[in-house]
Structure 1
Amino acid sequence: MTERFDFYTNTKVADGLGGAPGWPGIAPTWTSSAKDLVTTALGGSRVWACIGHGIINEVYWPSAGEPQIRDLGFIVAGPTGWHELKRVGQYRLSLMQPFVPIPRIVHEGEGYCLELDLSPDPLRDVVLVSFRLTGEDVKLYVLLAPHLGGSGLHNNARVADGLVAWKEGCALHLAADCGFSRASAGYVGFSDGWQDFFRHARMDWTYQEALDGNVALMGELSARAGVLALGFAGTREGARSLARSSLVEGFDSVQRSCAAAWQAWASEIVIPQTTDQLQHEAYLSAMVLKVHEGRTYPGALIASLSIPWGNTSDSTGGYHLVWTRDAVEAAFALVAVGCVEDARRVLGYMIATQQTDGSWSQNSFPDGRPFWTGVQLDEVGFPVLLAAKLAELGAIGRLTGAAEMMTRAIGYLARNGPGSPQDRWEENAGISPFTLGVEIAALVAAAEHLPAADSAYALSLADYWNERLEDWTYVENGMFSQTFGIDGYYVRIAAPLLEGGLCGRIDIRNRAGKSAPAVALIGMECLYLARLGLRDAHDRRIQNTVKIIDGLLGVQTPHGIGYRRYNEDGYGEHENGAPFDGTGIGRLWPLLTGERAHLDLLLGIDPLPYLEMMSHMTGASGLIPEQVWDTDPIPERGLEPGKPTGGAMPLVWAHAEFLKLLVARHQRRPLERLSCVDRRYQARRPEAVTWHWREPQPFDALPAGRTLLIENIEPFRLHYGFDGWDEVIDMPSESQGLSIHGVRIDGSALVGHSTIDFTIYSPESQRWAGVDYHIVLQSETGKGVSQS
């Protein structure tokens, strides 16, 4: 028996023969989010692999939402010393075709060259790596860091006819067709293979196992050429069987099968005529979207096979989750390039995972389990827009349940809008032009598929919200007006109406409790109003706001113009380049370059320069990141102006934005633009026939000639009168559609009065509202309506 030291309890404990010292290892983290490539096979396989720094890292199994290893890397040792290849960073990655994610990676250093070919196995939960090392008197070592069950804690590793790891129903097996001359299992930071080389400049340790900790495995390969197989299963025996079965089939056969499936899928892709560079980026982007789709749960399209700033955290979150917004943005892009069946599967998944109240969770694992539980109303509206788009194209096919989904989603929006508990950046409650625009378009889009009463109500509410949009989100002569020579602008988000609306304050997330007036925060949210067809791109208010966007949020980099999400954003690296840790400074988002470009498209300006910018603000292999660096380079942290930061890469939403912009340039029309919205609004602010008053969304003045609808989620009795409680009337509410109850008072009944006074009694709770409400009834010559 040997002893190991328990760093949790500061005691020595007995260890089995051959057990590694250093239990439980240092605190685990994931690896860098800077990926070179993401890959999977199109078939029964349930493995997704990332390549970063020239090696495999963060392999996901049995869904794209479940990472199982930190990385699988290599050390080359020889006369010139030992070289860990991911740290050396001297490599080239190439693809046989941009839409076939089967890479060749060539590492070249002092006295050696290592050629790696990777291929997922379409039939098995296995990734194969063919290797060939050349050089004088050099040996190859493989390093494997398991993070089974989504964490580096409580993993077990053992040398047993290969390299083996297991934990609570998850197991992996790394086999080599040439076998291992020697192998060792250890605890990270104490007895792992890297520490062995760091201390001894050679492989000196051969520990048999390391249990219940942050573990790592190392093996010395018996030959300089061969094939590795990394297999996953619920048992150690199953993982071994899969890995060895894949080796038996042979790398060439597996690679040909994997490539053929990708080529067959890509034959459906339609890319508009463009430059060679942009065409390459387009095929790559389409592939990236496809890679992120689930197998067991088809249509479950996650946001990114990466963990932002993962090398600083062991979080089980990351971006390997399904966000309804990101998935639908990707589905629109798939429609754009002709992959309608893929988009239809996303819609089918949305129908299946909709909650009983009509909403979707903020994000979820691919199986539908919620991860974060916030509510973002744009995520409720987006699936409706996707269903309407497919219906408009006659592409719903045999998919059932779309109309029911739309009814439930629109009912949720009607009951809970226009303000959202969270905006699209998942930070603040209030009324955002982006979210409200999606809500309005969704109400109109769904109306064509709803029963008559529900349809009429949805259109009435859409008209009202659309007319009030500027009242709620546009400030006249605000704090930026004089600086930019304008008379008003849209805000990023207004506070909830009962918390002051445009006069309220907004908490600045990731800035340690800081807040700012709503009128002091600018974002690009209003640009979607033109994209959806709710406002004309030439509208003075949008043009005013764009002047601030370009001047305040846009940053010129050597690779193009990038934009921050909003001024004062705190989601990004610190000033010195240190990783985001809950606080930081927001950096530039390439997808926002695409949003800005869509406005130029609608203005009749060719957005080609923006497409070229997006294609330049990528990683070395063309993956588009979440954020790029926006200031002076910091080489020691790998930060270069206009190039990826430590945020997510690739970001599915960013690749989708690139594809949609490319196709919109060809069609001269945004992909999200629906004909029904165009017909109803013609990009102009409407005058709603009916104004909808509710306690959470009150107003205190009504324009002349409008119908007043006082409404509530539950049935109620309205007690009202005019001009100081004259002509008092009691009236029960009636169903208005979409499970909303209300009392409708026609404009003709309001003529001759200056105010309407009312209160509400709820039979269900058996109580009065406890407050008297008053609405000024404006004459034809009356002044403007209150902002509230």
Structure 2
Amino acid sequence: MKAPEARGTRAVWSPAAKEMVGGSLGPSRLWFTLSQGIISEVYSPRVDIPGIKDLGFIVADDRGFWIELKGGKNVQIETAGEGIPAVTLRHTHDRFLFTARVVASPAREVLLVEYHLVSDDPLRVYPLLSSRLGGQAFGNTAQVLEWHGRRFLTASQGPFSLSLGGMGSGGEELFSRLSCGETEESDGWQDFSRHGRMAWTWDSAGPGQVALMGEGGPAGTLALAFGSSPEAASTLALSALADGFEPQWDEQVELWKTWQEGLRLPPRLTALQRKVYRTSAMVLKVHEDKTFPGALTASLSIPWGEASDSRGGYHLVWSRDLSESAGAAIAMGDRVLGRRILSYLLATQQEDGHWLQNQWLGGKPYWQGLQLDEAAFPVLLAAWLAREGSFDLQGIRPMIVRALTFIIREGPVTGQDRWEEDPGINLFTLAVAISALVDGSALLDAEEREAALWVADTWNASLERWCWSGETHLARRIGVSGYYLRAVPAAILEDLAAKGLPLLIKNRCHDPGLPACDQISTDFFQLVRFGLRSPEDPFIRESRKAVDRLLRAETPSGTAWYRYNGDGYGEHEDGAPFDGTGRGRPWPLLAGERGHVAVVAGESARGYLRDMANMASPLGLIPEQVWDAPPLPERGLYPGGPTGSAMPLVWAHAEFIKLANSEWKKKPVDRPETTWIRYGGVRPEVGWRLWRHRHRIRTLEEGRELRFLWSRRAMVHWGVDGWKDPKNTESRPLGMGFWGTALPVRELSRGQAIVFTFYWIDEERWEGEDYRVEIVGEEEN
């Protein structure tokens, strides 16, 4: 009989603050997560495709007592060893002790759960499973399947199917009764809520948001399998059960133990830091896909999943996060993973040279933004691997040329900053882009480098002009002479007054309408880390003071930083989940970035490592954000503990690994070496200003050249003080399809002006517009 349908139910996910994540080092294409003391999302056959919302348990007797084993304080979780994702759950109750061991089958797309219920009372265990096949809540169908003499709970949606089977301790079928239902109407939880016992035995349900339940004895083994049909999944479940739980647990533990023993750990880590380091390494490994090797998702979670129906969550690929993960892999000696990541990035680069804001593993776009740093990070990864001698450079050069061409053409303005918010000029983005231009061009032939270096030097020399606040009301309030700005509107390229324009703060209940000159972020840390500025540079020193006075947060777990003032990406003040608005919380990741500034300054980063480790969960997972307000036990929020945002955040784990190695080697392990050599932390003194159609400068300091850069051949027709004595100056190739030239105007004096227009040689046509650049003194510009 078919279960009654549900009407108007909302589909949400499990909480994002995971207690553990896991997968197989064997060929199995299955990944699992734990939250609230139960199994939460399980992914198969790819790491970006969740198949369930959760798999939990009800313990009940025949006299109306029942309890759901989900959340609560009486649960303990431990792993089989540091960084080994074979997990034991223990739920303690006045009437029973429930223990479950959870592990991925090494060879099959099967999650195995062995459980024992110890009680003086006649209690039974009822597994509850919420299907989300293909990442879809609706459109799932469920049925009880008879297969090879056994009964399975199955569900299907399109090409995806799952099967839940069980075996008792004597090899008998575990389930005495089975039922399929629809969430909030005919599912197992509703059955117990209404009847105090299992009263329904529906044999099919859906299509809709389906949930499955079985009645099991006090001990047994569950096999949750995924396949292309209910029969295929049931065959996998049955074969995994036939192999036995213990051999597969032992095999998986041994595989991970051997892998952990092969890791290179920095010396002088504390016991806690070693645990977090090994867990971080495991987290990176677990988040790599097997259909698309080299593709790592940002997190096996959906931020604030308990209130979200997002299809994407963080189980998507961002080229920035992926490149950061590759850097961590190289830092801990896994160049093979670094090369796999670079190969995946090579395969997913867009024709014009950029990478998608984020994407499904197969390369299909999810969000549509353009972020300049996401075009630059893969170039830096290629340069790092080239220094390591880890690949054939010839095959990677076309990727570098396309990426650098995109950066030159689009920059210095980015469509979004790294937080996927504001367009404009952002220092983190520019630090990465400038470094990519310098280190990337070093991998090209000498005659191909000039355009990239012209642009890199110009942007680097302009950072303070564009992004320094000067004296503001906020600067006076926090006692500094100025600070680097979070972001500046693109209009800054032609008008320095743009620093006073409003800059939107997203994710706020009410946007405060702060101008750009009143917004501070930690993004300038990257200037020091990559060698564009010295930690002793006066602009850096003042900005560090500003950030520490405005964005530093002290928690019981340690020190972290907010992303920027006015950030709204976090829970509301009452702890309610982020719903498009909220209040941003401190990020452990930013403690790692601050630690890298300390390394460059010759200081110890051990305090930052300590704080990052202290902010990790008991099993070593690092959250995206930590709670910074009084405790809210009813929402599971405690000062210094994880918020409802992603945990683990793979990027944060990559940062911990890199900081540990940077502290050991006394330099940032991911610093771009050619950039470091070129600038050495010193702002470059350039003897020119660069005019581009994207950056039409209006003034030129006395004693400087006026340079031009185009993506096609041109001739400059120009004169001084009107069209007196006009001249023609042709362009020359600067590499990567760019052309440029310089006008010899160093002898001009303040008050004079250059006028010019262009003739496009290959098109045999004039620009049709005249331009003017006025000569000014240094102090006027």
- TM-score tier, shorter chain, comes to over 0.9
Contact 1:414 1:738 (8 Å CA) reproduced: no
Q: Which residue pairs with 1:174 in the alignment? A: 164
Alignment partner of 2:326: what SS?
A: helix
Alignment partner of 1:419: what SS?
A: coil
Q: Which residue pairs with 1:318 in the alignment? A: 313
Alignment of 1:547-586 (within 5 A): 547-586=545-584
User: Given the alignment of the two structures, is residue 477 of structure 1 paired with residue 471 of structure 2, yes or no?
Assistant: yes
Alignment of 1:20-35 (within 5 A): 20-24=3-7, 26-35=9-18
Q: Which residue pairs with 2:126 in the alignment? A: 141
Alignment of 1:436-451 (within 5 A): 436-451=430-445
Residue 234 of structure 1, aligned match among 228, 236, 255: 228
Greater shift, 83-92 or 399-408, is seen at: 399-408
Q: Which residue pairs with 1:718 in the alignment? A: 716
Alignment partner of 2:278: what SS?
A: helix
User: Given the alignment of the two structures, is residue 45 of structure 1 paired with residue 43 of structure 2, yes or no?
Assistant: no
Q: Measure, in 2, the Cα distance between the counterparts of 1:646 and 1:157.
A: 31
Contact 2:103 2:113 (8 Å CA) reproduced: yes
Query: Which amino acid in 2 is paired with 1:736?
Result: L
Residue 242 of structure 2, aligned match among 244, 248, 268: 248
Q: Measure, in 2, the Cα distance between the counterparts of 1:682 and 1:448.
A: 16
Alignment partner of 1:74: what SS?
A: strand
Residue 88 of structure 2, aligned match among 100, 104, 108: 104
Contact 2:570 2:645 (8 Å CA) reproduced: yes
TM-score of the superposed pair, with normalisation by structure 2: 0.94
Alignment of 1:626-645 (within 5 A): 626-645=624-643
Contact 1:24 1:214 (8 Å CA) reproduced: no
* Paired residues, number: 764
Cα deviation, residue 399, structure 1: 7.7
CA distances 1:235-285 after superposition (whole Å, capped 9, x unpaired): 111111111111111212222222232233223311112111111111111
Q: Measure, in 1, the Cα distance between the counterparts of 2:640 and 2:744.
A: 57
Alignment of 1:83-102 (within 5 A): 83-102=67-86
User: Given the alignment of the two structures, is residue 463 of structure 1 paired with residue 457 of structure 2, yes or no?
Assistant: yes
Query: Which amino acid in 2 is paired with 1:32?
Result: P
User: Given the alignment of the two structures, is residue 391 of structure 1 paired with residue 375 of structure 2, yes or no?
Assistant: no
Residue 114 of structure 2, aligned match among 130, 138, 147: 130
Q: Which residue pairs with 2:507 in the alignment? A: 510
RMSD of Structure 2 on Structure 1 (CA):
2.0
CA distances 1:561-583 after superposition (whole Å, capped 9, x unpaired): 22111001111111111111111
Query: Which amino acid in 2 is paired with 1:440?
Result: I
Alignment partner of 1:372: what SS?
A: coil
Q: Which residue pairs with 2:350 in the alignment? A: 355
Task: Structure 1: state its 5+ residue gaps.
Answer: 1-17
Residue 432 of structure 1, aligned match among 409, 423, 426: 426
Q: Which residue pairs with 1:728 in the alignment? A: 726
User: Given the alignment of the two structures, is residue 64 of structure 1 paired with residue 47 of structure 2, yes or no?
Assistant: yes
Cα deviation, residue 748, structure 1: 5.3
Contact 1:76 1:138 (8 Å CA) reproduced: yes
Q: Which residue pairs with 2:171 in the alignment? A: none
1:765–1:81 CA distance, 2 compared to 1 (3 A): farther
Cα deviation, residue 32, structure 1: 0.6
Q: Which residue pairs with 2:752 in the alignment? A: 754
Q: Measure, in 2, the Cα distance between the counterparts of 1:150 and 1:549.
A: 40
Q: Measure, in 1, the Cα distance between the counterparts of 2:571 and 2:372.
A: 29
Q: Measure, in 2, the Cα distance between the counterparts of 1:742 and 1:613.
A: 50
1:400–1:736 CA distance, 2 compared to 1 (3 A): closer
Alignment partner of 1:295: what SS?
A: coil
Greater shift, 724-733 or 104-113, is seen at: 724-733
Alignment of 1:583-662 (within 5 A): 583-662=581-660
Cα deviation, residue 741, structure 1: 2.9
Alignment of 1:484-495 (within 5 A): 484-495=478-489
Q: Measure, in 1, the Cα distance between the counterparts of 2:519 and 2:494.
A: 16
Residue 150 of structure 1, aligned match among 110, 125, 135: 135
CA distances 1:564-620 after superposition (whole Å, capped 9, x unpaired): 110011111111111111111111111011112222222232222221211122233
Q: Measure, in 2, the Cα distance between the counterparts of 1:711 and 1:531.
A: 29
Cα deviation, residue 667, structure 1: 0.8
Query: Which amino acid in 2 is paired with 1:132?
Result: H
Contact 1:25 1:189 (8 Å CA) reproduced: no
Cα deviation, residue 295, structure 1: 0.4
Contact 2:494 2:696 (8 Å CA) reproduced: no
Query: Which amino acid in 1 is paired with 2:223?
Result: A
Q: Which residue pairs with 2:148 in the alignment? A: none
Residue 705 of structure 2, aligned match among 703, 707, 724: 707
Q: Which residue pairs with 1:665 in the alignment? A: 663
Alignment of 1:364-383 (within 5 A): 364-383=359-378
CA distances 1:157-186 after superposition (whole Å, capped 9, x unpaired): 112211100011110000102331111111
User: Given the alignment of the two structures, is residue 193 of structure 1 paired with residue 183 of structure 2, yes or no?
Assistant: no
Q: Measure, in 2, the Cα distance between the counterparts of 1:492 and 1:629.
A: 23
Contact 2:702 2:746 (8 Å CA) reproduced: no
Query: Which amino acid in 2 is paired with 1:158?
Result: Q
1:218–1:485 CA distance, 2 compared to 1 (3 A): same
Alignment of 1:269-308 (within 5 A): 269-273=263-267, 274-308=269-303
Alignment of 1:322-337 (within 5 A): 322-337=317-332
Contact 1:479 1:519 (8 Å CA) reproduced: no
1:237–1:384 CA distance, 2 compared to 1 (3 A): same
Q: Measure, in 1, the Cα distance between the counterparts of 2:780 and 2:298.
A: 42
Residue identity (%): 43
Greater shift, 152-161 or 86-95, is seen at: 86-95
Q: Which residue pairs with 2:56 in the alignment? A: 73
Q: Measure, in 1, the Cα distance between the counterparts of 2:444 and 2:86.
A: 46
Q: Measure, in 2, the Cα distance between the counterparts of 1:585 and 1:767.
A: 54
TM-score of the superposed pair, with normalisation by structure 1: 0.93
Q: Measure, in 1, the Cα distance between the counterparts of 2:15 and 2:763.
A: 54
Q: Which residue pairs with 1:5 in the alignment? A: none
Q: Measure, in 1, the Cα distance between the counterparts of 2:519 and 2:741.
A: 37
Q: Measure, in 2, the Cα distance between the counterparts of 1:480 and 1:665.
A: 34
Cα deviation, residue 423, structure 1: 0.5
Contact 2:494 2:695 (8 Å CA) reproduced: no
Contact 1:24 1:213 (8 Å CA) reproduced: no
Cα deviation, residue 23, structure 1: 3.0
Cα deviation, residue 690, structure 1: 4.2
Alignment partner of 2:176: what SS?
A: strand
Cα deviation, residue 460, structure 1: 2.1
Cα deviation, residue 657, structure 1: 1.2
Cα deviation, residue 80, structure 1: 8.7
Residue 544 of structure 2, aligned match among 546, 552, 570: 546
Q: Measure, in 1, the Cα distance between the counterparts of 2:764 and 2:310.
A: 47
CA distances 1:606-636 after superposition (whole Å, capped 9, x unpaired): 2222212111222332211111111111111
CA distances 1:392-442 after superposition (whole Å, capped 9, x unpaired): 223x24586222221211111111111111100000111111100101111
Q: Measure, in 2, the Cα distance between the counterparts of 1:387 and 1:772.
A: 42
Cα deviation, residue 451, structure 1: 2.1
Q: Measure, in 1, the Cα distance between the counterparts of 2:207 and 2:476.
A: 63
Q: Measure, in 2, the Cα distance between the counterparts of 1:480 and 1:450.
A: 45
Query: Which amino acid in 2 is paired with 1:507?
Result: L
Cα deviation, residue 771, structure 1: 4.6
Alignment of 1:254-273 (within 5 A): 254-273=248-267
1:241–1:766 CA distance, 2 compared to 1 (3 A): farther
Q: Measure, in 1, the Cα distance between the counterparts of 2:124 and 2:624.
A: 38
